[in-house]
Chain A
Amino acid sequence: MAERMKVHDPRGYPPKVTGKRLAPRLESLDGKTVFLVDCLFDNSDVFMDLMQRWFGQHLPSVKTRVIKPKETWADDTDMRKQIAANGSAAILGVGL
C-alpha cells in the first residue's frame, strides 16, 4: 500500500458571504420608469438605445431612460440615487 502523505491546502481564505435580499418586484411595468444602465462596454450604448426602442414599440406605457455611470468598474452612488429617486426598476448591460 502506497504511503499516505499529509500536505497543505494551497488555497487562500475566502470572505464570509452575507445573504442580501432582492428588492420587491413590481406588479407591472405599466406607467413605471425603467432606467437602462449603459455599463460603458463597447457597443452597450447601442444595445441600450435599441432596448429603449423596443420598449417604445412594444410596451409604450413603460417610460425608459438611458443612464451611464461616471466611471468604468466603479460604483456610481450618485447615479444609483438618481435611479432610486426617479425610477422603479433598472436593466444593466451589457457586461458585469
Chain B
Amino acid sequence: MAAALELDGVPTVAVHTHVFARLARATALANGMPRMRQSFVPQPVVDRTPDQLRGYIEGADPISKRPFVQEVIEGLTKPLDQEDLQGLSFERTTPRLLEPDSSENLHRLFFENHWTDFLPVVLPTEERVERMLKGTKLPADKVVGRLRPAVFREFWEFTVEKVAVNAVMAGARPEYFPVILALAASGVTARSSSTNSFATISVVNGPIRNEIGMNSGIGVMGPYNHANAAIGRAYSLLSQNLQGGSVPGETYMGSLGNWYAYSAAFAEAEERSPWEPLHVQKGFKPNESAVCVFFGGWYTHAGYGPRATWQEKMRRCLSAVEQYSPPLLVLDPIAACGFAELGFDKKQKLIDWCAENARLPAREYWDNQWIQYLNRPRAVAGVEPYASRLRAKPDDIIQIFEPEEINIVVAGGETQGAWKMISGALRGMASVDAWR
C-alpha cells in the first residue's frame, strides 16, 4: 500500500517492526522501489502497553539506531536524489541448467541456496527430469501456475519442467507426477511465510490413490509409504523454490515453524469409509481423481470414540482450536463407522454438529489478534456472520465456524478408533486427471 500511495503522489513512510526489516526491504526491491522510506520499531507491537509503545515512538529505530520520529519526519521531508526518482528496473532470470559441477559441490550449492529442506535431495539431472516428464502427456514448457509466499509478495511463474525438477529432488516417481502437478496448480503455497507457521495438508482422492500405491491405512499420516512421503515433500520443495524462496527472515517468517511442512500428503480411505469421499463432496465425480489442499497444521487435537462422553470431549477440542483456523477432522474408519452408527449417516451431519458445537464466549473469540486483524474489519463492514458475532455481548456464547469451513476425511489403519482435529482451512482443489 505504501508503494501505491507513493505512485498517487503522496510521500509515505511505512513503519514495521525490526524483525521484518529484511523482508520489508526485499519486498520494496521487488516492487521496483528499493528506496521506499521505511522506519522500524522494536518487535513486538502486539500485547505491548501504551506506555511501552510510547517508548518505541520516543526511542531509537532499532535498525538505523537514530531517533524513530526523526527517521519518519526525514522520510517525508528529505529531498529525493536521482535514484529515488528513477526507482530500479531489472530482470531477474533463472537459468534452465546450472553450471556443471561435481555431485558433492552441487549438493552443497543446493543446501547453501536454501533449495532443499536440509535433508539430502536427488540431484535433478537432465536424464532424471526427462524420466519424470514421462509421467504426464503435457508439454514441458506448459505454464502450470504461479505461487508466492505471502499476499504482499510478487508471484513467480513455473512450467511443467520446473515442477518435474522439484519432483525429482523429492525422490518422486514419474507415476506420482500428475498428483504433484495438480498440487502445484492448486494456487496454494505449501511454504507460506506467515508468522503463524502455516503448512499444508494434502488429501488425495479417486482412482489415482490405488494406481500409485498411496497409503490410506496404518500410519497414514506418518513416514510409512513412498508415494505419500515423496508427493508431500515434492509439494513442499516446489513451493519454496518456484515461489522465490522460503528463507528465514526474507521469505519465511513463521515464528515456530511447522513439521507438517516437511511432507504432509495422504489418501482418503474411501473404500472403508461409511461416507462419500471428500472430492465428491466438493463436486468431483467418484471416478475422477483430485487433490484438496488444507492450509493450517497449526494445532492438532486428538481423541477416541465415540464413547459415552464423546460430545464433551469434542466440544472441548472445538472450543480449544485457534478460532481463525477451522478444523480438519481425520477419522480412522473405526471412529467414522462409530459416528455413522450413532446416526451421523452422512459426513455433513457430523460437520453440522461440529459447527453448532464450536462455541466460545464473544469476549474470547474477539480477544485473538488474528480475529481482530482479519475478521473485525469484515464485521464492521456488516459482513455476516462476523457482524452478528461483533454485536454479541462479551459473555454471549457464539458459534465460531460455519459448516462450510469444517471438513472431515476418513483415513487410518483401524488399529485404533482414533481421530485427529487439525488446523486446516480448505484453500485449493485441483483435478489430477487434467495433469495426466
Interface residues of A, Cβ cutoff 8 Å to B: 2-29, 34-35, 37, 39-44, 46-47, 50-51, 54, 58-59, 68-73, 75-76, 80-81, 83-84, 87-96
The answer on a CB contact under 8 Å between A46 and B50 is yes
B364 at the interface (CB under 8 A from A): no
Which residue from B27, B73, B110, B242 sits with its C-beta under 8 Å from A29? B73
CA–CA, A4 to B76, complex, Å? 54
- Asked if B33 and A50 sit within 8 Å, CB to CB, the answer is no
Nearest-neighbour CB distance to chain A for B167, whole angstroms, equals 10
Q: When the two chains form their complex, are residues B373 and A22 in contact, meaning their CB atoms are under 8 A apart? A: no
Q: Contact between A25 and B76 (Cβ–Cβ < 8 Å)?
A: yes
Going nearest first, the 4 A-B pairs with the smallest beta carbon separation are: A19-B87, A93-B15, A12-B242, A42-B369
Please give the residue numbers on chain B whose beta carbons come within 8 Å of chain A beta carbons, in ascending order: 1-17, 20, 23-24, 27, 29-33, 35-37, 41, 45-48, 50, 53-54, 56-58, 69, 72-73, 76-80, 84-98, 100-104, 106, 110, 115, 123-126, 129, 147, 150-152, 154-159, 161-162, 165-166, 169, 237, 241-244, 369-370, 372-374, 376-378, 381
Contacts of B6 in A (CB 8 A): 20-23
Q: How many A-B residue pairs have CB under 8 A?
A: 276
A19–B243 CA distance with the chains assembled, in angstroms: 21
Q: Quick check: A3 and B103 within 8 Å, CB to CB?
A: yes
Per a CB cutoff under 8 Å, which of B13, B16, B101, B126 touches A95? B16
Known contacts A17-B90, A47-B53, A54-B58; is-contact A80 B4 (Cβ 8 Å): yes
Other-chain contact of B115, A10, A70, A76 (Cβ < 8 Å): A10
Residues of B within 8 A of A27 (CB): 77
CA distance A10 to B177 in the complex (A): 16
A91: nearest chain-B partner, CB-CB: B13
Q: A6-B97, A9-B97 are in contact. Are A43 and B124 (CB under 8 A)?
A: no
Q: How far is the CA of A28 from the CA of B16 in the complex (A)?
A: 24
**Secondary structure at chain B's binding surface: helix, strand, loop or mixed?**
mixed
Question: Does A29 lie within 8 Å of B35, measured CB to CB?
Answer: no
Within 8 Å by CB of B103, from A5, A9, A68, A84, lies: A5
Q: Could you tell me if A75 and B156 are in contact, using CB atoms closer than 8 angstroms?
A: no
Cα distance A7–B101 when bound, in Å?
A: 9
Tell me the smallest distance from the CB of A88 to a CB of chain B, in Å.
8
Residues of B within 8 A of A96 (CB): 14, 16, 20, 23-24, 27, 150, 152
Residues of B with C-beta under 8 A to A81: 8
A16 touches B91 (CB 8 A): yes
Contact between B94 and A14, CB atoms less than 8 A apart: yes
When the two chains form their complex, are residues B89 and A93 in contact, meaning their CB atoms are under 8 A apart? no
Query: With A12-B147, A22-B35 in contact, do A5 and B123 touch (Cβ < 8 Å)?
Result: yes
Chain A at the B interface: SS class: loop
Q: A41-B369, A43-B47, A96-B27 are in contact. List 13 more A-B contacts (CB 8 A).
A: A2-B102, A5-B100, A8-B98, A9-B165, A10-B165, A10-B237, A17-B92, A19-B86, A23-B6, A25-B78, A26-B11, A47-B15, A95-B16
A88 to B126, CA, bound (A): 56
Residue pair A10, B169 in contact (C-beta under 8 Å): yes
Closest to A95 in B: B16
Instruction: Give CA–CA (A76, B89) in the complex, Å.
Output: 26
Task: Enumerate chain B residues within 8 angstroms of A12, measured Cβ to Cβ.
Answer: 94, 147, 156-158, 162, 241-244
Say how far A4's CB is from chain B's closest CB, in angstroms: 4
Give bound CA distance, A81 to B10, whole Å. Answer: 10
Given A43-B45, A94-B15, A20:B377 Cβ within 8 A: no
For A13, the chain B residues whose CB sits under 8 A away are 93-94, 156-159, 162
**A-side contacts of B376, CB under 8 Å:** 40
Chain B contacts for A29, CB-based, 8 A? 73, 76-77
Residues of chain B within 8 A (CB-CB) of A83 are 5, 8, 10
Residues of chain B within 8 A (CB-CB) of A3 are: 102-103
Closest to B109 in A: A7
Residues of A within 8 A of B12 (CB): 23, 89-92
Judge whether A14 and B103 touch: CB under 8 Å: no
Taken together as a complex, chains A and B put the C-alpha atoms of A60 and B32 apart, in Å, by 35
List the A residue with the shortest CB-CB distance to B162: A12
Please state if A41 and B373 are interface contacts (CB–CB under 8 Å): yes
Q: For B241, give its contact among A7, A10, A16, A26 (CB under 8 Å).
A: A10
B60 to chain A, nearest CB (A): 15
Given the known interface contacts A19-B89, A92-B2, A95-B17, the answer about A10 and B166 at a Cβ–Cβ threshold of 8 Å is yes
Task: Looking at the assembled complex, report how far the CB atom of B40 sits from the nearest CB atom of chain A, in whole angstroms.
Answer: 10
Contact of B10 among A42, A76, A90 (CB under 8 A): A90
Residues in B neighbouring A11, C-beta threshold 8 A = 94, 115, 156, 162, 241-242, 244
B168's nearest neighbour on chain A, judged by CB, is A8
**Of the residues A25, A58, A71, contact of B77 by C-beta under 8 Å:** A25
